Chains A and B, each alone.
Chain A
């Protein structure tokens, strides 16, 4: 397990050095949010719309930033160096950790922006829990699909086409759960959604750990 922490720290260090995908994601969220704000003007929008705006910004920010995590290794030719140093599973977990924490950070950033600029939006504990579970789910889907894409050496549009159908179950539950949490639902009402998201994330990560070994070599 510690090998994946080393891979995770390596990715964090290289991200600090190059700061490429972090900046693109933050800029992406700011531009998308400003478009929403221009469109909304100053009339207050209902909770379902704010929720859908939130997840639109969050999903597309994730889609643009996370797909590069394996492609970067292939493009810069460092894959063969990594191949001789670590097993596919530890690299996968390392990259998954990086993507998950990266998505959570970006989502917190979006959360702050939304609470500042949109008054009907007030994040509470349940919403943050939903957001964290959602980010882990999005990150796990993005990491395994990024691994597939890196082997297919084609454009990132294929990434969106491949990952979207898999994300839909998570997305549907996320939107419903976040709506409930904003409207101040009690835990008992949201237990179904939470258990689904946890189950979905765990099964996806387990499946990906099995599949990554077949994606590792040509």
Chain B
């Protein structure tokens, strides 16, 4: 019940934000911040309150479409709570990061942000496959609008590409969902989209592999993994800052979440057979994403490719099929949410100040904006995988887990941390270090508003890096119940 209310509340807040546009320019974003703030407080309260005997923090189950046994079934376990809390937090970050950037239609902008997040919360809590798919698609449209309306010069191309990739892969998933349901129907005579019922579905292995691939393709596209990653650099480059923050921080995680929650548990045997290929994709993503990141001269594009590399660790970890790998993947999800969101916020801030994303037109920005330089340095270092910060914990665990399963793959993937250093430091060099660019006369440094968000993200990364136990405990409860570990 409360989960449904939260989703509705976010939707309603979107409408309120839109309507409040008439009051003042600031009203919509204040509505947003309050909504996300309340959401964050709510998730924290749930966390402090603890789970019930089944490991759930909240649950509900209402019939929705009786004809197909579709339910409004929402549940929040540890992993869901973790992801929802991250969503709420990054919601605030997104709003703050686009504070000065949006010049028109503030109300509609916040409306879209809130609606994306509502969809995301649905994705992270849905316990009915169709409901999941429903939310999966619901979050796309406002995201599309964010890019299409407030994007940069190539927004038409980028937003279309984003939508086509995710939508087409989503169609495959819908097909797989329906096929799964009808396979289950054939065996039991019952039509249901209930996640828990379908977990027990007995599927012919020859069919299972194809159904699993239907899910996997959708999630791998969203993640994204090589070779279906090419929408991401374009989408990120063109999206407004808030869009990039949400996209990198949250939407990519829905892909990872989908793999952990659906693709693997629904088809454990098929996934085990497929694991080696998934790990290979992960490894290739790490290296290829890293190499591509180095090639870029556009700040945001570079960070976008680095996201692909980071997401490779998630594939590698999850398909290692052990606790270490799985936990590594989940910690990576959280940590990457912070570090990349911050870097995109930085990219947005630079673009807004210099009207360019080309690093060739930056250089020596530290001189004008030491705070921004320091922040960039911090988050670059985090994404390079410095121990003591969150990304390291995730990546190390993922690699450690992968090594148990397939040492060759893990060894190759570990080389990715060298590549990460290469592109990460090169980014730093070309933007903030080096000879100050004479064309840049001055640049406004970060103020209190930006710094407070940055500080929160730094604190988050240090927290996850030094004492990841809170995250690990939340996700551990879920991992154990999914029954995917040997």
Are A and B subunits of one complex? no
B binding-site residues for A, Cβ under 8 Å: none
